[in-house]
Amino acid sequence: MYSLSSVIKRLILIHVLAIQPLLINSDLSLNTTNAYLNHKCLVNQGKYKPGSKYEDRLKRTLKMFYSGSYRGYDGIGDSTFSAIIQCRGDSYGPKCHDCFATALSALSRRCPWYKGRIIWYDQCLLAISSFNSIGKIDYDNNFCMSNAKKVEGNVISFMIAWNTLIDDLTKSATSGDNYTLYSVGEKRYKGDMLYGMVQCTKGLSPKACQECVSFISLHFQDCLNDRRGGRAVGSSCSFRLEFYPFIAEPVRNI
């Protein structure tokens, strides 16, 4: 977990920043890349035997996901099993379906017979567990990817803008009765445009989504601190910020 002093320090930085216009949209985008990002075999959950009840349940669930993936999300869980397919907010229909098929094939090859396993692609996440993880924040399975280039000039000023954009996107993703748990937007920073995306796994409450994004933001602050872009990715939430448009979609001013 993170310390109270870290939280207070971050809140102070956020509130001293003069609010700049933020362009945000939570609709659909046109990005077509689907790079493999990472995977994790959850060895502490053990393995199942071929022909076991666990394998039968897994096969039946994943077969159902082939149709559910067209909706962009599907999740099934009980006391002994759960599986989640979550596509990025702009990936839906055939795009999400194709990502799920790719993820399932790769995960079966990379983590054979493991009860718990997760794989991340640019456009989707597939997570399988031997317990019910639906609606719960996963604090353990996350990672960071940062730009090799460092920020020039005032790093503190840049991180204030970075944190503010993440906070504004998180607020947009979790606001209203029809909250989407997904938001993208852009913010001008010293003549350049900073592009961002925040997404939480469907099934999380707005409050849990906010807590998850706050956690990974603080957890990976050393990884992302002075970099010209990067992402923090988990099985419950993720965010990405870059100085180039990695999701091409129209935006609206809020």
Determine what percent of the chain is predicted with pLDDT higher than 90: 63
* Residue 178: per-residue pLDDT: 83
> pTM for the full model?
0.84
Buried b (16+ CB within 10 A) or exposed e, 224-247: bbebbbbbbbbbbbbbbbbeeebb
The residue ranking higher by pLDDT, 67 or 75, is 75
Select the more confidently predicted residue: 36 or 176: 36
In this structure, the number of other CB atoms found within 10 A of the CB of residue 65 comes to 22
> What pLDDT score does 15 carry?
35
Q: What is the CATH number of domain 4-30+141-253?
A: 3.30.430.20
Provide the residue type at 32 as one letter. Answer: T
- Using alpha carbons only, what angle is made at residue 231 by residues 98 and 235, rounded to the nearest 5 degrees? 55
Cα 84 from chain centre: 13
Q: What is the CA radius of gyration of the chain?
A: 18
Q: Which residues contact 80 (CB under 8 A, 6 or more apart)?
A: 54, 130, 131, 132
pLDDT band at 12 (very low <50, low <70, confident <90, very high): very low
Between 203 and 16, whose confidence is greater?
203
Residue 248's pLDDT band, with cuts at 50, 70 and 90, is low
**Residue ranges covered by each domain of the chain:** 4-30+141-253, 36-129
Instruction: Tell whether the model's pLDDT for residue 21 goes beyond 80.
Output: no
Domains 4-30+141-253 and 36-129 share a fold: yes
Looking at residue 192, its amino acid is D
Reported as a pLDDT band with limits 50, 70 and 90, residue 103 is very high
Give the pairing type, strands 81-87 and 23-25: unpaired
What element of type H or E holds 104? helix 94-110
Q: Are 176 and 163 in contact (CB under 8 A)?
A: no
What's the confidence (pLDDT) of residue 32? Answer: 56
Mean pLDDT (the chain) is 85
Question: Residue 251 corresponds to which tokens in the numbers above?
Answer: 């935006």
36-129 in CATH: which number? 3.30.430.20
| Most distant CA atoms of the chain, gap in Å | 61
- Report which of residues 10 and 35 the model is more confident about: 35
Whether pLDDT at 68 is above 50: yes
Could you tell me the pLDDT band of residue 237, with boundaries at 50, 70 and 90? very high
In this model, does residue 20 exceed pLDDT 50?
Answer: no
